A and B are shown apart, each in its own frame.
Chain A
Amino acid sequence: MSTFFQQLVNGISLGSTYAVFAMGCTLIFGVLNIVNMAQGAFFMAGAYFGLEAARLGLPTPLALVVALLGGGLLGMLSELVIFRTLRARGGHRWMGLVASLALARMMVGLAQEIFGTQVQRYPANGLLQISWEIADVRIQLLQVVILVVSLLLMALLAFVLQRSSTGRAIRTVAFSEDVARIVGVPVGRTILATFFLAGALAGAAGMLLGNLFNVVSPFMGEQMLVKGLTVIIIGGLGNVPGAVAGGFMLGLIEVFSVAYVSSSFRDAIGFGLIFFILLVKPNGLFSGFEERRA
């Protein structure tokens, strides 16, 4: 029984980082109907931004802000350089996929050039090493902090989307770009803001996961992109609450399948689930959460 609770704790903290990352991916899909394949690279960059900030002696919360802003700026850069240009030229949607993958490739190369290919670790933070044992279940303060930060980010995104004028603009553009234009929403700026939010979420997720496993490497983004795509399929493309639920679900599935099935088939179970969902509920498991887009 204690294994069960231990895995529950691990799964929830892992899943919360997946959820944060996937919210960004699904947000862009909701607004533009595209997948930004560079989100994984922003995630990796966020981990390095946080790492460098921590090494400069910034306290962890400030380092997280650096990771957020860094990821957000990269997200805006991808929109300005690639996606905006492609939209203006009426390029095919594949072109965005190919170009964003190429951007990711460049960033991975750049990260190797700057930081080397070796795995790097966050400076030891005595406070976060604290852990409690409750009836054989070990809970690290780090896990709690990661969960809390993730929940705060989710709440923040929900607040931005539901309450702020930018959020209303984003939801209008997601509903229909033409409608947005007619009612006077600045479409270009709104899309840029969406890319900022998505990049910032990816950057923050990078720092969180980098801390959780204490591993930062140039290649961490590719794996995360795979997870992010899995989560947004589970949650339904463009469905933000679905991405949160899907993120927790994937984290739990992975952790429990390692504990009870076999470590090696961990990923296979996640992907088996994708197939199942695509065939049975192609709008995602949680398609009741939001009104379906026309």
Chain B
Amino acid sequence: MNAWITQFFASYSNIIDLCLLNSLIAYGLFLALSANMFSLATGGFMALGAYCSVYCTMVLGLSFAPAVFAGALLAALAAAAIGVPVLRLRGDYFMLATFAFTEVTRVVALNWESVTGGAIGIFSIPRYTETWHLVLAVAVVVYIAHTLRRSYFGRAIAAIKQDDVVAQSMGVNVFAHRLALFIASGFICGAGGALAAHLNYFIGPGDFGLARSVDALTYPILGGVNALAGPLVGAIFTTLLPEVLRFSNQLREILMGALVVAIVLYLPGGAMSILKLRWPGATARETKLAAATEQAQS
């Protein structure tokens, strides 16, 4: 049995690491989405975390832990810097501004050759990230998310998500809550970038573009943003599926795309909504009410 487990981890350790890493990122996005922030900044945050931590380990010779922390902190600072002006804007402008941030970061990474290696990227990064680091990171984030959800902070955030006028009227400082969540999201994605860089031997600007941001959003939305396990389920599902579907790259893209469309259309609450028990009779009125609230807000 023991031998079998060892064997299992040896052959699948790469994919397990990838699942964990994507889960971590998924929770970073989950925090942002839980207060209605459709953030496309993930690619930018991960790039900051990755390049900063690699600079710390390879150039400054820092050890791994402070390097990851530095990367995460830099991304958190960037989140604060974007968040303060942009969170006051309407929802769609927030999305577009975070998108612009990711693109600016990518372009800077492409051109600041002395630090980032330009288009070629940075090779032979020491492999410091271990599976247990990733497990620990995901566990810490899940614990924090779980504990917050059950507290008055969680209630305030849920209210912001559903109806921020109500939240404000009940004394919730909507701006402060959203800013804090966005900074936390930046910190987690920055840490994710740092861990990813020390897992893959290589980073380049192509790793952190719009596609990265979009993939990261797909995890929690597919898994479901109302359940705590949603991001985990979404990340693992989206990471494993391409491995299971051993088709050509193109066919895989087509199938993944079709699958995402199908889930969005038939399970609009995300995959976790299958498991969620609902009060009979509530659902229909609830959807109507939610639609009405949405209309009233827009």
Contact = CB atoms under 8 A, between A and B. Distances in A.
- Whether A and B touch directly in their complex, counting CB atoms under 8 A apart, is answered as yes
Interface of A: 29, 33, 35, 81-82, 85-86, 89-95, 97-99, 101-110, 112-113, 222, 225-226, 229-230, 233, 237, 262, 264-265, 267-268, 271-272, 274-275, 278-279, 282
A143 B144 CA distance: 57
B254 A109 contact: yes
A278 B92 CA distance: 11
Contact of A222 (B91, B100, B210): B210
A108 B290 contact: no
B261 A106 contact: yes
A234 to B, nearest CB: 11
Contacts of A109: 249-254, 257
Contacts of B103: 226, 267, 271
Interface string B99-113: 111011001101100
B31 interface: no
A92 B268 CA distance: 8
Contacts of B90: 282
Given A94-B221, A95-B221, A274-B97, A101 B254 contact: no
28 contacts: A35-B95, A81-B261, A86-B265, A90-B294, A94-B38, A97-B95, A98-B217, A98-B218, A99-B260, A101-B218, A101-B260, A102-B260, A102-B264, A103-B261, A104-B257, A105-B257, A109-B250, A109-B254, A110-B250, A112-B250, A112-B253, A226-B99, A237-B92, A268-B104, A268-B108, A278-B85, A278-B96, A279-B86
A265 B260 CA distance: 35
Contacts of A278: 85-86, 89, 93, 96-97, 100
B227 interface: no
Interface of B: 33, 38, 85-86, 89-93, 95-97, 99-101, 103-104, 107-108, 110-111, 210-211, 214, 217-218, 221-222, 248-254, 256-261, 264-265, 268, 287-288, 290-291, 294, 298
Contacts of B218: 98, 101-102
What is the predominant secondary structure among interface residues of chain B facing chain A?
A: helix
A268 B111 contact: yes
A97 B90 CA distance: 16
A90 B288 contact: yes
Contacts of A237: 92-93
Given A98-B217, A99-B265, A105 B86 contact: no
Contacts of B222: 98
Nearest to A225: B210
Contacts of B211: 222
Contacts of A268: 104, 107-108, 111
B38 A264 contact: no
B250 A98 contact: no
B108 A230 contact: no
Contacts of A95: 221, 264, 268
Contacts of A29: 92
Greatest chain B CB density within 10 A among A85, A105, A107 is at: A105
B107 A282 contact: no
A233 B111 CA distance: 24
A275 B210 contact: no
Contacts of B210: 222, 225-226
Nearest to A89: B268
A271 B210 CA distance: 14
Given A265-B107, A278-B96, A105 B268 contact: no
Given A94-B38, A109-B251, A99 B92 contact: no
Contacts of B265: 81-82, 85-86, 89, 99
